[in-house]
Amino acid sequence: MPITTFEFGERYKYQNGFGSYLETEAIPGALPIGQNSPQKPPYGLYAEKLSGTAFTAPRHENQQSWLYRILPSCAHPPFARAADGPFKSDKPTDPAKLEYIPNQLRWDPFDHDDQTDFVSGLHLVAGAGDPTLKQGIGMYIYAAGKSMAENSAFYSADGDLLIVAQDGVLDVRTELGWLLVRPMEICVIPRGIKYQVHLPSGPVRGYALELYQGHFALPELGPIGSNCLANARDFQAPMACFTEDSGATASEGPNSYTITVKFNNSLFQTKQAHTPFDVVAWHGNYYPYKYDLGRFNTIGSISYDHPDPSIFTVLSAPSDHSGTAVADFVIFPPRWLVAEDTFRPPWYHRNTMSEFMGLIAGEYDAKKGGQGGFMPGGASLHNVMSGHGPDAKSFEGASNAELKPTLVGKGSCAFMFESCLMVGVTEWGLEMCKKVQEGYSEESWGGVQVHWERPKGVSANNHLL
């Protein structure tokens, strides 16, 4: 079945579609009919436009939603720098201190942390670019052991956040509604949307990619046709859901809510006297969404050779150069291999793109698992033009395997964040996490055998006049 069987059952209803224009109301009649900003919106609500692109972006790129809420987002005291947080300049995840190195890197599974919530449990591992210029990406590991406070909310002004759940369940409350995100699901929370993360199954760990420029899109299919890979109908968006908690005015509520914003990789906070989760209805195409990776329609060669891994792209964030991505999200799910006379795992490779890989579950067919190998909750980084490929044991096994139809990756799913940018690594990623496998390169490729046999009597001087 092209769907994941989850141990943790679904809690919510959703709307379906990627990039679709959707509408939802928690109270019937809360959406105005025929206009966006009437003089008096229904039920005394405020109309608020949320723009994810410039007003004049081309229609096919334009992303915006209209929210109908109890109080507008602007009703809060000034923000002040947060006293603590994972992005301060004295922290080992400081984006200003990225180290750019050509070495192949691999990490053991990152530690869980039962003392942090989702925001304080974010660790920047690597990145590139500058959110003030809306250029670049940030690659994260998250580990958390407690839910965010009921009276808190977080949003990023720096970019869209793609979350890859690896261990544990995220129950994500956003301004636009709830998303339940389980291992083998991803979600994307666009720039500016406030949210709160709860942990209904206990501690969590996973990966995240922040996109500073543009938004994720489905990859073009070209001659594949009109279906396959991630189908638009399988993406799920929340239904409107709201809380009533305010006073007669925005500053007179009985409770206090802490709003934290990530702004140029620094955290700022304010406290307001009304809940930020008061959106009664909304319509538009700028919203958070989730996707079950088990629904990905994998394609591959049915004759010979291993195609480029771009055939496994779920989401892509294009650069200004056609066919080149600031960030691709690629997965390697269970799939059948049938190619004849072919080395079936991914080949040895040097790439103009940077490749950050993680493992959600199981084993990856081109890398050994187990202690000291590529394990769930761990990661690897092969930067621009850094050679990589199957380790020696995997190569020998695949080179001598019987080439019958084979199902690989059952119970497994690896993924890749691929970027055209050269990626720097934080101090936390290189040293403080204490997870770097120092012998990764030697253990993977130091034992690669020489199979070359020079043909007898053949000259090797064909380049000479």
pLDDT by position in tens, the chain (length 465): 478 999 999 999 999 999 999 999 999 999 999 999 999 999 999 999 999 999 999 999 999 999 999 999 999 999 999 876 676 655 667 777 899 999 999 999 999 999 999 999 999 999 999 999 999 999 999 999 999 999 999 999 999 999 999 999 999 999 999 999 999 999 999 999 999 999 999 999 999 999 999 999 999 999 999 999 999 999 999 999 999 999 999 999 999 999 999 999 999 999 999 999 999 999 999 999 999 999 999 999 999 998 999 999 999 999 999 999 999 999 999 999 999 999 999 899 999 999 999 999 999 877 777 777 899 999 999 999 999 999 999 999 999 999 999 999 899 999 999 999 999 999 999 999 999 999 999 999 999 999 999 999 888 888 888
pLDDT, residue 195, reads: 98
Residue whose pair of structure tokens reads 């998303």 in the numeric block = 179
Q: Which residues pair with 382 in a beta bridge?
A: 355
The DSSP code for 431 is I
- Confirm whether pTM is higher than 0.85: yes
Strand-strand pairing, 105-107 and 122-130: unpaired
For residues 416 and 380, give the distance between their C-alpha atoms in angstroms, rounded to a whole number.
Answer: 9
Asked if 451 is an active-site residue, the reply is: no
Give the active site residue among 123, 274, 388, 418: 388
Give the active site residue among 185, 355, 363, 418: 355
3-class DSSP assignment, residue 440: helix
Give the active site residue among 25, 150, 349, 427: 349
Contacts of 429 (CB under 8 A, 6+ apart): 107, 123, 124, 125, 126, 436
Asked if 382 is an active-site residue, the reply is: yes
pLDDT, residue 91, reads: 65
Query: Which contiguous run of DSSP H or E holds residue 317?
Result: strand 313-318
For residues 271 and 256, give the distance between their C-alpha atoms in angstroms, rounded to a whole number.
Answer: 6
Asked if 363 is an active-site residue, the reply is: no
pLDDT, residue 100, reads: 96
pLDDT, residue 367, reads: 76
For residues 48 and 262, give the distance between their C-alpha atoms in angstroms, rounded to a whole number.
Answer: 21
Query: Of 148, 98, 95, nearest to 121 (Cα)?
Result: 148
Contacts of 341 (CB under 8 A, 6+ apart): 304, 403
Q: How many CB atoms lie within 10 A of CB 59?
A: 5
Give the active site residue among 25, 150, 198, 306: 306
For residues 446 and 421, give the distance between their C-alpha atoms in angstroms, rounded to a whole number.
Answer: 28
